[in-house]
Amino acid sequence: MKRKLDAAFIRPEDNMDDLSYRRVRTDPLVFVFPSDHRLASQATVAPQEIANEIFCLPSKAAPSVRRVVAEYFERAGVEVQADHEVHNVVHAISMITSTRAVMLLPAYTERFSAEIDHHASRAGRSPTLDLVLAYHKSNKSPILKLLLSRGWQACQRCLAAPSPLQPASPGKLPISWIKVVQANHL
């Protein structure tokens, strides 16, 4: 942030030491498939099952998501080759449906397409991604002060509403109209 905004809702980034963050919510990442994909009927999917699939990776424009996805597969000992890079959720859904690709996306993406299935993973800790309110540490704006003092609780209540795919039990996400297979807990 170049001090043109008082605050912004972002994914936390590396090398932004001049910013302060307040976590608003944490979104689980889930595998997203075309609804008729061979893995779409499974309740959970292990990262090893993705190794030979057409895979989409978040572009460098989304470094937080890209890092979480890369670290997840690294912990699992799985090397995936990105066939495509996507820039946003709509682009991801388009690529998944048109190329029959697989991708890890935040669980809230189920709201965007009936053509896609989301799945949870099998065991361990699913990858997650934080949404934060970021502001410059030296910002003395009265609007920011008001937001952080009074408006913060209301803001947090609205944005921290549970994702539609909250785990029913540890390591499991319910199947919904877009097939979400929980990412394997590592």
Residues 6+ apart with CB under 8 A from 109: 32, 89, 92, 93, 116, 118, 178
How much of the chain exceeds pLDDT 70, in percent? 72
CA–CA gap between residue 138 and residue 22 (Å, rounded): 15
Of 2, 30, 17, nearest in space to 164 by CA? 30
Q: How far, CA to CA in Å, does 81 sit from each of 41, 86, 101?
A: 24, 14, 12
pLDDT at 167 over 50: no
More confident of the two residues 179 and 36: 36
Confidence of residue 55 (pLDDT cuts 50, 70, 90): very high
d(CA 77, CA 8): 35
* pTM, entire model: 0.70
